Structure 1
């Protein structure tokens, strides 16, 4: 009888040990998940997110409004949280409405209807149990930057009224006008998050080039201390993301976006219409070209110079004169991988150098050769795009002024892993990190 009794005691002890091990692991896993959630949402505005809808997985959400010059867009991001790991993007819901907030500058109250409609999309996307833990923010760009301060303030006040009545938490700084540097940093975060360079892995980060209508940005993570020491102080910014401190070289050149640069090369001044019947005459246009061009709600009358001088050489001279000493050269960019977006992408598509949907790679020299070819052909006629010669010449000069040699290869993409390469995702992370810190 003694042997069965010992066996029973042994079996009981084994079962007890297994049960305690199971409980311990469940407790550790629960604590790891809890720790990560507290890291992302530690703020008096938020409650910790509820448990995931899927067993073993936890999700959180972030809502970012992009208030641009032509429309307002909502991005609703779902993040998958894992113990001891950076969050991963689960999905993105995107919806846009027109016009932009700036269209309501004289009657701010009217902007509310569109914002409320977009918030309904958010409520249909985010589980009600997580509304109280989902941060809500709006960042306005060029459209509101160009408005008089008082009008912009009134519009932002109306946005805050809408947010105050919503079920999503926010702070006074949740609604603001984004400056160019923040736009560049946020786009850099988006690109490198999607490429895996922000997850604590050995994947190197890439640089980012963005060419908008009114401004252009360059952002990268310097690997050479000399870059930080020799750069203007306002070109270097530091922040913390996913418990890692990062230092970036980032600058936005206001007035050097493609549309603003185009106007300057043509001989116009931003915001000042040409008086009377005056025309802007430019060697960057075909000799027989006459037409109108609207920029920043001003309509300009344009005309090409008489035939004689080669268009490319004459246009190149105008572009170089306009951009002279307005751009800081960064030597380190020669060795780094860079992605380029917006008008860099669009003009490469116009040249047939990349696929419109999938993007591709090209060298700086491709822009130069494209400019020479297009300008040469324009000596016989303006073609479908009268500004293509000017735009390509400007892009090729801008890249070289920024420090990129002719043989430098750039990657061009609208999407990475099927996610839009806009600043919205990066701005959402940036905002969530600020909530965690405060």
Structure 2
């Protein structure tokens, strides 16, 4: 009997063409997955950092800013990362101990060292700007002010940052950079809409800055900036000695000058309508009025018995005397003969403007309502005020009646705000996560001098990535279809061979 030979059918998966296509498809899938992972991985953002020290009259604050290494219209996108308040008074208080000024910065500068990545330390610029407190010290004792600045300079050079200088900035700069800050934070600089005016109040000076609707009649009150491709022509003025602390001394010195002293052997009684009824403290005249802001005033020496009366209307009348409005050589003035255009548009009021009015809960009231509530607050007995705010030091607590009345009088009588545009003033502490003040504007302006870095970019543009993935997917589908057709034909052929 003849043996029927076995028919061996070759497995179509073992054919070279099928093996090649299968390997190609698997590799294609691996490539697609790999490209997708690389393309869509989170990009590591590169940041630059800057440190600005605000050496004010009453204290020093250290601000740390960060911004992406890329720029927008040649201006870095700066944000506040961290702030640290230096313990103690401002650096101008170290005139008798200059070395102490530099040492006082150590704790906050160490915080900055820890906050900023170590690989960025050497390229992080550090700037110290001293304001009105140091301007006054410069007027009073230039040698002492230079020693204080030398002390902070020596101190800042010991840290691993790029020290760029410590200097006394002008009042004009302080006002202008404050204007940049509030408009940057409000996102007005890269829009065609109107800008915010800036109102800044410190302990020793106050600044007003805005884009006027009329011509600026004196170059002393103008400054120009170019930011985000736009040019800005600003009116700005800084009134030295008209911060709230110095204004208090000015006002009290004028009251003392007019006080009748019957017996010079007894303490001088200063009856003050700007302090609460029941307030009664003794002060040493010479130490309290030791400031270059008080010139030509015949002040008594010795002990002063400071007695509060709590009469708001009399308080405002006494404050008005610190503003000289008797002459003006221009078409329009604020006070002390200083040119000022009409205050048009909206304004952001920050620093002491905010802190005082926020404490008094007067940040959103009308002008008339502000006056009424201030009058009620000032007439509140001192004992009740102390009981109501036990956590606040009595020195600061006692001055809120004066400070609130001074702010209202400065804005209304000094800058000519009225009940009609009072609502255009917005009292602000922060916008977003950044403090309103001159330091951010200063840092923002300085970033124009800091070179940009190339941004990390995806493997390919988004449109190209989508096109590539679609074409590659289509190719794999075509290959799969070819494998399927080839496999099907091979199977049919094998079945015919068996039959």
* Equivalent in the alignment of 2:39: none
With over 3 angstroms needed to count, the CA separation of the structure-2 counterparts of 1:323 and 1:90, relative to structure 1, is closer
1:262-411 superposed matches below 5 A = 262-268=248-254, 277-285=267-275, 289-292=279-282, 297-298=287-288, 300-304=304-308, 311-325=311-325, 326=335, 328=338, 330-333=340-343, 335-354=344-363, 361-375=364-378, 377-378=379-380, 383-384=384-385, 387-401=399-413, 402-407=415-420, 408-409=422-423, 410-411=425-426
CA distance in structure 2 between the partners assigned to 1:164 and 1:261 by the alignment: 36
CA distance in structure 1 between the partners assigned to 2:286 and 2:188 by the alignment: 37
Which residue among 211, 229, 234 is the counterpart of 1:248? 234
With over 3 angstroms needed to count, the CA separation of the structure-2 counterparts of 1:220 and 1:292, relative to structure 1, is farther
Residue aligned with 2:225, SS: strand
1:3-42 superposed matches below 5 A = none
* Equivalent in the alignment of 1:192: 183
Larger Rg: 2
Residue aligned with 1:146, SS: helix
Which residue among 65, 76, 93 is the counterpart of 1:87? 76
* Equivalent in the alignment of 1:39: none
* TM-score, length basis structure 1: 0.71
Residue aligned with 2:105, SS: helix
> Conserved in 2, the CA contact under 8 Å of 1:135 and 1:170?
yes
> Conserved in 1, the CA contact under 8 Å of 2:223 and 2:235?
yes
1:126 aligns with 2:116: yes
CA distance in structure 1 between the partners assigned to 2:402 and 2:102 by the alignment: 40
Alpha-carbon shift at residue 423 of structure 1 (Å): 1.9
CA distance in structure 2 between the partners assigned to 1:239 and 1:257 by the alignment: 26
Q: Across the two proteins, how many residue pairs are aligned to each other?
A: 361
1:413 aligns with 2:403: no
> Conserved in 2, the CA contact under 8 Å of 1:266 and 1:281?
no
1:67 aligns with 2:55: yes
Alpha-carbon shift at residue 298 of structure 1 (Å): 1.9
* Equivalent in the alignment of 1:36: none
CA distance in structure 2 between the partners assigned to 1:296 and 1:363 by the alignment: 40
Q: Deviations over 1:350-392 (max 9, x none)?
A: 43334xxxxxx343333322233335x35x7775255444433
CA distance in structure 2 between the partners assigned to 1:366 and 1:77 by the alignment: 39
Q: Which runs of 5+ in 1 are unaligned?
A: 1-53, 355-360
CA distance in structure 2 between the partners assigned to 1:74 and 1:180 by the alignment: 19
Q: Which runs of 5+ in 2 are unaligned?
A: 1-41, 290-303, 326-334, 386-396, 452-499
> Conserved in 2, the CA contact under 8 Å of 1:196 and 1:203?
no
* TM-score, length basis structure 2: 0.63
Alpha-carbon shift at residue 427 of structure 1 (Å): 1.7
1:166-205 superposed matches below 5 A = 166-171=159-164, 174-198=165-189, 200-205=190-195
User: 149-158 or 64-73, which moves further after superposition?
Assistant: 64-73
Q: Deviations over 1:30-83 (max 9, x none)?
A: xxxxxxxxxxxxxxxxxxxxxxxx736332111112223444332111102446
User: 258-267 or 146-155, which moves further after superposition?
Assistant: 258-267
Residue aligned with 1:365, SS: helix
Alpha-carbon shift at residue 426 of structure 1 (Å): 1.3
* Equivalent in the alignment of 1:13: none
> Conserved in 2, the CA contact under 8 Å of 1:239 and 1:246?
yes
Residue aligned with 2:447, SS: helix
CA distance in structure 1 between the partners assigned to 2:172 and 2:285 by the alignment: 23
Residue aligned with 2:321, SS: helix
Q: Deviations over 1:161-192 (max 9, x none)?
A: 23444433344xx2101232222222211111
1:131-150 superposed matches below 5 A = 131-147=121-137, 148-150=141-143
1:239 aligns with 2:225: yes
> Conserved in 2, the CA contact under 8 Å of 1:331 and 1:403?
no
With over 3 angstroms needed to count, the CA separation of the structure-2 counterparts of 1:411 and 1:423, relative to structure 1, is same
Residue aligned with 2:419, SS: coil
Alpha-carbon shift at residue 405 of structure 1 (Å): 1.0
CA distance in structure 1 between the partners assigned to 2:159 and 2:308 by the alignment: 54
CA distance in structure 1 between the partners assigned to 2:166 and 2:280 by the alignment: 43
Alpha-carbon shift at residue 323 of structure 1 (Å): 1.6
CA distance in structure 2 between the partners assigned to 1:158 and 1:391 by the alignment: 33
With over 3 angstroms needed to count, the CA separation of the structure-2 counterparts of 1:312 and 1:130, relative to structure 1, is closer
With over 3 angstroms needed to count, the CA separation of the structure-2 counterparts of 1:293 and 1:219, relative to structure 1, is farther
* Equivalent in the alignment of 2:461: none
CA distance in structure 1 between the partners assigned to 2:382 and 2:114 by the alignment: 53
CA distance in structure 1 between the partners assigned to 2:162 and 2:253 by the alignment: 48
